[in-house]
Chain A
Amino acid sequence: MECVFGMVGKGFALVVADTSAVNSILVHKSNEDKIMVLDSHKLMGASGEAGDRAQFTEYVQKNVALYQYRNGIPLTTKAAANFMRGELATALRKNPYMVNIVLAGFDKDTGPSLYFIDYIATLHKVDKAAFGYGSYFALSMMDRHYHPNMTVDEAIKLAEQCIEEIRSRLVVAPQNFVIKIVDKDGAREHSWRRTTKD
């Protein structure tokens, strides 16, 4: 029931995730932030087993920070994506992480980029990506309305359309969503789309 999706626009990348933390029929909380700010210019939206999600994303975040202290410069988005894929692949045949990740980043020389990384260590560089049951609706919506070099407003509108579709068509749709954006000024929270208050 978790959904995470993202898309690349003109000079920015967007990641949207639901904010529900669910255990069988119980909703623990509906303001769980699943999009981690990996470093100043990277966003990592993660869905899957809650324990694995926290463990893996925090581990990646600290290793990305360590790289920066050791080498004086931050990792590129591509390098971070490949690092994550490598960790998932190494653990896969022993003790797999059940986490699906949408990685969005902005690099000064290559601009915005989006990576689709699933729990069996698939890595794809893409313009739009989605995970979860919501992906059936989000991907279809994005396939229809996405075009390259969208402005922030156009992309937000498309994200809202995806969220609407998920809300109306998914049987146990998540209540709230968070939208985060990364561009040349960094990674930050953009807005929430709520149906319930806390």
Chain B
Amino acid sequence: MARYDRAITVFSPDGHLFQVEYALEAVRKGNAAVGVRGTDTIVLGVEKKSTVKLQDSRSVRKIVSLDDHIALACAGLKADARVLINRARIECQSHRLTVEDPVTVEYITRYIAGLQQKYTQSGGVRPFGLSTLIVGFDPYTGVPSLYQTDPSGTFSAWKANATGRNSNSMREFLEKNYKETSGQETIKLAIRALLEVVESGGKNIEVAVMTKEGLRQLDEAEIDAIVAEIEAEKAAAEAAKKAPAKET
């Protein structure tokens, strides 16, 4: 099998493109990222590693806006992300210039996925080592969307999804607990999913909320407040579970 993993342009006998799968491994080692779609809000949350003390954390923005109505979070190689995000931003403006209309979320997702796919079918290049979560409101219908792309260039729409480290546990949690929410409830659901795999605290997660008005990054104090709410709810649920057992 090792003979078929050197070059991206070589299939293995059982139909794998090993370079793409190794790129997915790189994604699995990246920081956790979660996206949740509500009826009027879409929330993106990303894990922040708090081990670096001397780093100016404001220079490391993990959730970026591509246009007024589109935002992106990713897991994997951050340098690759910079290149992809730059191309996507140019495409957003180029689309506005040629057809005088903003991009739809699906269009820009298709574009990014198309870029990622191109690099799985060329000689001498490697795939982008990142999966993206793209959120936004359709500029014409106002419908919220959440999409995910991966290094192979596939993309699909989701009600809620997670990528990066421990994404399976987060996805399981979301599958169990997802319901149609709006506003603050959506934000809480996203943070609860992240807290399953991340140390609790405002300085370990970055959260951004996309509404029809645009993208808003939550500051540490706000996140701490919501985390405190969630912990209080959890504690209350635990207490409620224990109390009946004691009575018997």
Which positions in A face B, CB cutoff 8 Å?
58-59, 62-63, 65-66, 69-70, 72
Contacts and interface: CB of A to CB of B under 8 A. Distances in A.
Contacts of A63: 93
Given A63-B93, A65-B93, A69-B93, 17 more contacts: A58-B97, A59-B97, A62-B93, A62-B94, A62-B96, A62-B97, A65-B96, A66-B89, A66-B90, A69-B65, A69-B66, A69-B67, A69-B89, A69-B92, A70-B86, A70-B89, A72-B61
Interface in B124-150: none
Contacts, number: 21
21 contacts: A58-B97, A59-B97, A62-B93, A62-B94, A62-B96, A62-B97, A63-B93, A65-B93, A65-B96, A66-B89, A66-B90, A66-B93, A69-B65, A69-B66, A69-B67, A69-B89, A69-B92, A69-B93, A70-B86, A70-B89, A72-B61
Contacts of A58: 97
Q: How large is the interface on B (under 10, 10 to 19, 20 to 34, 35 or more residues)?
A: 10 to 19
B69 to A, nearest CB: 12
A2 B90 CA distance: 33
A4 B89 CA distance: 33
A70 B83 CA distance: 11
A70 B97 CA distance: 17
Nearest to A64: B93
The 3 closest A-B pairs by CB, nearest first: A62-B93, A62-B97, A66-B93
Contacts of B92: 69
Interface string B65-84: 11100000000000000000
Interface string B50-74: 0000000000010001110000000
Contacts of A62: 93-94, 96-97
Nearest to A70: B89
Interface string B82-113: 00001001101110110000000000000000
